[in-house]
Each structure stands twice: as structure tokens, then as C-alpha cells.
A and B are shown apart, each in its own frame.
Chain A
């Protein structure tokens, strides 16, 4: 039987407000345990939550960026359950009336096809603390630094049909929240976390299959692997005439498998009800317009502009806008070296730079080479100091030694030879050293031309200007 995969994603985005969603405590990551938790975060008797207006502004910003409906009135509810790292015994969230409804995200797949994914809702809530089960001699430690950190929960419709689509959605969403500067996007630190609802059904069937929810998968790679594992598991079950159980599963990246966490029978009754400590959140259209006026250029608009302004292909532009940091880096380079070199800049960033970043598992912000240095390198190509090929060598040295391109060119003697007589000299030597090939060429075997070019470039250690080599070689071969 042919199976269709159905995926819906719930993403928790940690907002980058300075203080928590309902208290004045700081939100910075990595502090000593329990040093960033005030009486409110600890849920001490008598304390009350006060909503952080910046978290609201960020949620509205996101809602506008996905063309969603920002609710004029939304309600904070209490989600009641007991857990040691949940200080109040309930999480303040939004259940019945979320701040943002609907919206769309346009994703681009590897092969360039575009698809629109609809969103169900987006709501504000507070994060819980962390339970630490190691290093406490059989007991558990509780760190409440994270308790009360603002989260935006973004829920998609079940409209994705492969792990690749899910990853494309997540990457687009990740780019968007960092573009909007509402999240630092750091997945290792848990600033962008994903739960995937996965089910399969026979192709053509309308009803959804029974779904499993895979919790907290913290990298694009693992999301892909977890979904692929889960889809295979469910298909195998169904083909074996067994049922898929509705349950929550945990992805184990070391074993590359998903395991049951809790089943529906154990599912908790959260006893949601409106939080009486917080009034309904009212947002007027004037405020929404104010936030709209602050929206930065969004990825799709940027892609279009890159194609138009810099003459880039859509493919190149898509890669460059995949993160705001990358797009900003690119634009800084182009600003320094001129729009005439925009295509060369794109090639170097997409090619050399990306390869090096991937190899070292770094983000562009962490690259050892600055945009200014890349611009210099491009200018050296443009003014014929070096060839594009030599530029690759220079780039590698720049990455390794963090040296200036001019210094590298000077030190390693990589300067392109543009002196015609010097190039002519080299060509003559090559022709003299290869009498047999020369005779054959002149007898009509013209495909040997490339061989001579290669030999000349090799003899000049790649430094001869390729255009001049072409011109002079043709002349000398005619003689």
C-alpha cells in the first residue's frame, strides 16, 4: 500500500525579552542555578503575575509577519499540573483565546518548489524551570532560572507531508523569528524547540491516521531523523495489521529511535480556566498599526529585492536570505565592494564561506573572517590581482590564519601575472616542452587546446591571468 505522511508542528520560541513574562527577573541563559528567579518565579505565597508588555509586542509582531489575525482580546489561562519544576502548580498559558489566530508561512523545498503552510494559532505562555537528575546522589535538583521565561507557541495545521517539508517549515520559521529579532534562535540552548505530530494514512484517505507526538526535538537534523523513524515505525505497524497508539514519544538521538513517554490514558486533565490574577489582554488596532510600522524587511521581500537589486538567481538569493545574519553579512560585503561585484560576493559566500561554516559547524556570526575582509578579497579578484581560482587558496588561508587577503597574496606571491611578455615566455616554454602535442594540435587535434592552457597555468603556479593566457596561447599556436 502507498502511505501518505501527515505532519503538524508545534514550535516553542523563547522570546528574547530582557525580563520574564510575568516578573522582573532577568532571562539571560547560563546563570548559576536559581539566581535569576524572584519570589514570583518561585511561586511564593501572595505573589502575583504582571504581564510583560514587550512579550506582547513581540507576539503581535510575529502575528503580523505571518499575516495572521491579532486578537483584540485574548485570555491567559491556567494549565494545572504538578511537577517539581513548575513552581505554582500551574503554567500560565493561553487556551481558549490565543493572541494570534491563523496566518501562513511560505516554505521553499530543496528542489525550489514553494508551498504555503497554514498556521492554526500562536499563543503566549511561560516556560517551566528545569529538573536536574544527575549529580544529586539519587535526588533531583531544581533550577528555576528558566521558570517564567516568555514563550511563543506556534501551532501549524497538519499540512506537511514529509520530513523534508517539516524541516523546510522549521527553517523558514527559524529565519523569521530571528529576522523579527524576537528570538535568538539558539537551538542548543533551547530557544527554539519543536514537537512534531506525526501520522500516516493510505494515499487518498481523507481521515487522519492516529498520531504520535514527538516531544522536544532540538535540531533540524534530529527533526528529520525522528520523523522519518516515526513514519517508518507507523507504516510497519499498520502493514503488520497493528494499530498506532495515540501517545507522546521521545526521540533518542543516540539510538535514532522514538520511545513512548506517556499514553493517552495517562494523559493529564489540565483543568484549564482563565487566570483570575490577569485581566483579559486587550489590544487595539492603533497599537497593532504601531507594531506593524516597526516590522523589518521579511525574508520573502528580501529575496525579491536581492534578485532585483543584485541580479542574483532565486536559488542564490534563497540561500543568502536563509538567515538574517547571512543576509546582513552579504549586504555588508556588497556595500564595501560595490554592486558590480554582487554576483562574485554571492558565489564566495554561498560557496567557500558556507562550505567552511558547515565544515566547522559554525554560524556566520561566529566566522573567523569579517565581511570587510571578504570584500577586500573580492576587490582583488575584480582588479585582476588574483584569479577566482587563486582566491579560493587565499580564502582558505584567511580562514585559518585570520590574515588580511593582501598580506596573504604578498607573502605567498600569489599575485596574478598580467605582464604579456612574461606570460608569452611561459607559453613558449610549454610549447617547447611538448613538441609531440604541438604537432598533433597543428595537425588538427584541436581538443588539445585545453591541455596547453592547463600546462601554462600549472607552469605559472596558477598566477597567469587566464584571459591573457587564452589570447596569447591562441596567437602562438597559430604561428
Chain B
């Protein structure tokens, strides 16, 4: 059952080949069996079985939507009513949210069955999932390797087929980079498409929730449920609903593809470049045209990103003070001692590094030189994309410059780690949608290709990815150990 797509599982449920309870048990067993991956922080077996049995009743009554009775996982950044929501941090190890995130509510309403909460880099800060208080997640393709981050738990779980789909979030690449490292498909929607309410904030102007699944069609079904206006998020955009699933099968003849020359530079592993060119050739066979484009300010994205994101995080994470909820240090002698020790002990090293950077760049005297300048660069980067997308329909390139690295290989060098986001963070700065899908292997590790579209062009990029997946089979590969 675990190799089936959401559509196939839905048909199986409809035709009474199996029940949602059976399906749920099947995946719960896989979660248990493969717990050495450390992909989950919390498993919600009891709630899952209850939800599955409710789904079965609905299906029996002939009420079935795409996700009714389909097991999914939530990244532990989404608040779940009555269930521990840790954000990968000791700070929230004891936090049980009294509300559901809008995304959680929407998927519940769509009939999905939540099996548990996935591991992640603490407060979504990291590119390897080594920054989790709950320990690193392992890459199912080779457990000595990282799955990427920050949504490493969701990505590894999908790659090992512990669930058909999962939610994730992407601030600088946290959906696309782990999707690439784990050989799965993930889409970061346009900023404002998916509500951020109940999604624990890292960098508010960049954070965006999105789905991960084995393939683009399953991502489309997930996104269909997750997207939509929410009056509880002021940055959520109110616009007519798009049918992502219906658009999947559209032919892509005449599609104009842009390849940014700056993405194919000496930092890119040539073997990855070859695979991207191979995939683009497949799209050309389907009738797409290709041209070289330029994103001249792209090289500024990492410095700009690492000013804006820490600035916002330094403020967003100020609420973790030990007063109202979460971790509090033992026996504080006074207020200052409580603040200092709570935050020193409760946060991990990378989170503290970013809070310090963020505090510094917002300080009086430095604000204009760093934050204001970074915002200007952000506009330049966005303008590059807007200009390019006037000439092409989608921009295609590698998701990451390298394949997955070994656990422990980069965690002493933050800059090397940050460079993982070199092709992804500019998309967040511009607020555009980006998708990563598997296009082959280098050194037996998966390679991801990124498809970037115009604002709210999720249907288009899912369509392109789906069409490619109709003529390739990289998305069907399951690591041997988990097959």
C-alpha cells in the first residue's frame, strides 16, 4: 500500500480494497518499524485510528473527498490542538497547543488522518536536521547522510514511505532542499497562499507552509486542501481558488523555460548540472522551449537572507521567556537570571546564533547598514525574477549545488551550511512559488530540480512537474531498505 499515490489509495478506499483504519495501521507500523530514521517526534496513534474510523464511516456513507481517510504527517512546527508541538526545541518540549493551525484544520476538514508530528531543525533553522533537540534525522537513501532541513523529518518520512504526504514549511529552502536530498517532491507556495496562523514563526516575511509527497500530483491534492484565505493571517491573500489537480494533465506544449545562467556556475556539482539538462531535454520533448536568462542579483541572496531572517527571528523568538509557557530554567534567583538561563538552556546553538545576528543587525546604528540595505537587495532580487518571468513561464535550475552530505560534515561551518540555500532562498526573498522534484542520482544520492513560477502560478509548476513525472520514474524510487 505504501507505494501507492494518494489518488490510488483513494480508489482503494472507495472500492473497499482496504479501510482507512487498515491503511492507518499499515503506515503506523512502518513508522514503528523504521523509527531509527528519527523522522517523527510524536506519533498520535490513538487520534489517528479514531480519525480513520470516522473517515471509514464517511466513505461508507458515500462521502469521499481526495484526502478522506488518507494518512498524513505534520511538521512539528504546526500547532495541533491537544498534541505536543515542539518546533524541534527543548523550549517547547512541554508545549501542548490549545488550538490547531489553520493548515491542520483545513487538512482535518478535508478528511486527512494525522499520524504524528515530524522532526525538524529547531525553529526551522537549519539545512541538515542536525539542529533538532530530538536528534538528527537520517536520510533513508543512506542513513549516514543528512536528509536536509529544516523539514528533514517530513522529507525522510515521505522518502521511506512512512506516509503518503506531509506538511512542511520553507523559509529559505526548508521544503525544497530536503525534498531534493530525499528524492521526493515538495512545493513552497507563493507567500500568502497558505495561512501562517498556528505555524510557529521563524521569519514571518519568508515563512510559507507547503506539502511534500512522492510526486507532484499528490502535492497538488495536498495543496488544494492547504491553500486559501484565512482572516486570522493578515498576510494571507484573498483570491479565487485554483484547481491544482485539474491543471495537472494540461499539455505543456509551448511552455517557455528559462535557465538562469548564474545557477549553473562553478559552485554547482557538474553531475547535477547534467541531470538538470537531461530533465529539461525531456520537457523539450514535450514541446517546451528553453532559453538562457539572467538573475544578476542572485549572488546577493544569501547575505540578504541571513540578515532579514535572523532579524525577524530575533523578534519572533522573544516570546520564549519562560514566563507563560514552555521551558523555564530551574530556581531562577531573579528576573534577569530567569531570562538568561531559560533562553541559554532552552535554545540550541544555531537558534542562539541567529538571535544574536538578528539582534545585532536591528540595533540602532546598524539598522540602516544591514536591515534596510538587505530589504533593498530583496527588492532587486524580486525585480530580477519579475523581469525574467515576463519572458518565460517557469525558471528551472538545480535545487541545491550538491547532493546530501554526511551527518556531522558541515555542522561546524555555518557558512558552508548556509550555502545549501544558494538556489532556494532567493525564491523566498521574492515571495515566489518553487517546487523541487527528483531527477536522478549522483553517488547513489537523489538530486532535485527546482521549478520556479510566477506569483500564484502553483498550478503551472505542478503541471510541469507532473508532466515530467509522466515520462520519468525517479519519483517512484524507494530506498531499498524501506521497500
Interface residues of A, Cβ cutoff 8 Å to B: 39, 42-51, 78, 80, 82, 84, 87-90, 142, 269, 271-273, 276-279
B204 pairs with A276, CB closer than 8 A? yes
15 CB-based A-B contacts, threshold 8 Å: A46-B78, A46-B85, A46-B201, A48-B196, A48-B233, A50-B232, A50-B234, A80-B362, A84-B321, A88-B318, A90-B315, A90-B318, A269-B363, A272-B367, A273-B367
Instruction: Tell me, yes or no, whether B241 is within 8 Å of chain A by CB.
Output: no
- Distance to closest chain B CB from A201 (angstroms): 27
Interface residues of B in 231-246 (CB under 8 A from A): 231-235
Instruction: Tell me, yes or no, whether B456 is within 8 Å of chain A by CB.
Output: no
Contact of B364 among A48, A49, A269 (CB under 8 A): A269
**Which residue of chain B is the closest to A279 with respect to CB atoms?**
B234
Given known contacts A273-B311, A273-B371, A45 and B318 CB-to-CB distance under 8 angstroms = no
B315 pairs with A271, CB closer than 8 A? yes
Number of A-B contacts (CB under 8 A): 99
A45 pairs with B196, CB closer than 8 A? no
Contact of A142 among B200, B323, B359, B371 (CB under 8 A): B323
**Which residue of chain B is the closest to A268 with respect to CB atoms?**
B364
Given known contacts A273-B311, A273-B371, A43 and B231 CB-to-CB distance under 8 angstroms = no
> Which residues of the other chain, A, contact B98 by a CB distance below 8 angstroms?
39, 44
Interface centre among B196, B199, B318 (most CB of A within 10 A): B318
- Distance to closest chain A CB from B102 (angstroms): 10
A269 to B359, CA, bound (A): 10
Contact of A48 among B234, B315, B362, B367 (CB under 8 A): B234
Given known contacts A88-B319, A276-B312, A44 and B325 CB-to-CB distance under 8 angstroms = yes
If A39-B99, A272-B367, A279-B235 are given as contacts, then 5 extra A-B residue pairs at C-beta distance below 8 Å, sorted by A number, are A39-B98, A42-B324, A45-B325, A49-B234, A277-B204
**Which residue of chain B is the closest to A79 with respect to CB atoms?**
B315
**Which residue of chain A is the closest to B123 with respect to CB atoms?**
A45
A273 to B366, CA, bound (A): 12
A271 to B361, CA, bound (A): 9
A45 pairs with B315, CB closer than 8 A? no
Interface residues of B in 67-104 (CB under 8 A from A): 78-79, 85, 87, 92, 95, 97-99, 101
A51 to B371, CA, bound (A): 25
B362 pairs with A271, CB closer than 8 A? yes
**Which residue of chain B is the closest to A88 with respect to CB atoms?**
B319
Instruction: Tell me, yes or no, whether B197 is within 8 Å of chain A by CB.
Output: yes
Instruction: Tell me, yes or no, whether B198 is within 8 Å of chain A by CB.
Output: yes
Contact of A89 among B205, B232, B235, B315 (CB under 8 A): B315
> Which residues of the other chain, A, contact B317 by a CB distance below 8 angstroms?
89
- Distance to closest chain A CB from B349 (angstroms): 20
A80 to B359, CA, bound (A): 10
> Which residues of the other chain, B, contact A84 by a CB distance below 8 angstroms?
321, 323, 335
A278 pairs with B234, CB closer than 8 A? yes
A47 to B233, CA, bound (A): 9
Given known contacts A273-B311, A273-B367, A43 and B319 CB-to-CB distance under 8 angstroms = yes
A272 to B364, CA, bound (A): 9
- Distance to closest chain A CB from B364 (angstroms): 5
> Which residues of the other chain, B, contact A42 by a CB distance below 8 angstroms?
324-325
Given known contacts A82-B318, A84-B335, A271-B362, A45 and B323 CB-to-CB distance under 8 angstroms = no
> Which residues of the other chain, B, contact A142 by a CB distance below 8 angstroms?
323-324
**Which residue of chain A is the closest to B85 with respect to CB atoms?**
A45
Instruction: Tell me, yes or no, whether B418 is within 8 Å of chain A by CB.
Output: no
Contact of B315 among A46, A49, A78 (CB under 8 A): A78
> Which residues of the other chain, B, contact A50 by a CB distance below 8 angstroms?
231-234
> Which residues of the other chain, B, contact A48 by a CB distance below 8 angstroms?
196-197, 232-234
Instruction: Tell me, yes or no, whether B18 is within 8 Å of chain A by CB.
Output: no
B315 pairs with A277, CB closer than 8 A? no
A271 to B31, CA, bound (A): 45
Q: Mark B389-408, 1 if CB is under 8 A from A, else 0.
A: 00000000000000000000
> Which residues of the other chain, B, contact A87 by a CB distance below 8 angstroms?
319, 323-324
Interface centre among A43, A46, A47 (most CB of B within 10 A): A46
> Which residues of the other chain, B, contact A49 by a CB distance below 8 angstroms?
234
A273 to B360, CA, bound (A): 13
Top 5 closest pairs, chain A to chain B, by CB: A89-B318, A276-B204, A276-B205, A271-B362, A46-B198
B199 pairs with A273, CB closer than 8 A? no
A82 pairs with B199, CB closer than 8 A? no
Instruction: Tell me, yes or no, whether B339 is within 8 Å of chain A by CB.
Output: yes
- Distance to closest chain B CB from A361 (angstroms): 38
A271 to B197, CA, bound (A): 25
- Distance to closest chain B CB from A9 (angstroms): 25
> Which residues of the other chain, A, contact B323 by a CB distance below 8 angstroms?
84, 87, 142
Interface residues of B in 211-262 (CB under 8 A from A): 231-235
- Distance to closest chain B CB from A3 (angstroms): 33
Contact of A46 among B200, B312, B367 (CB under 8 A): B200
A385 to B231, CA, bound (A): 66
A279 to B234, CA, bound (A): 7
A43 to B371, CA, bound (A): 25
> Which residues of the other chain, A, contact B78 by a CB distance below 8 angstroms?
46
Given known contacts A43-B324, A89-B318, A271 and B364 CB-to-CB distance under 8 angstroms = yes
Interface residues of B in 298-332 (CB under 8 A from A): 311-312, 314-315, 317-319, 321, 323-325
Contact of A273 among B200, B231, B232, B362 (CB under 8 A): B362
> Which residues of the other chain, A, contact B359 by a CB distance below 8 angstroms?
271
Given known contacts A51-B234, A87-B324, A89-B315, A45 and B97 CB-to-CB distance under 8 angstroms = yes
> Which residues of the other chain, A, contact B201 by a CB distance below 8 angstroms?
45-46, 277
A417 to B97, CA, bound (A): 80
Contact of B319 among A45, A272, A278, A279 (CB under 8 A): A45
**Which residue of chain A is the closest to B326 with respect to CB atoms?**
A45
- Distance to closest chain B CB from A87 (angstroms): 6
> Which residues of the other chain, A, contact B200 by a CB distance below 8 angstroms?
45-46
Q: Mark B361-393, 1 if CB is under 8 A from A, else 0.
A: 011100100010000000000000000000000
A271 to B95, CA, bound (A): 28
B234 pairs with A45, CB closer than 8 A? no
- Distance to closest chain A CB from B172 (angstroms): 15
A46 pairs with B324, CB closer than 8 A? no
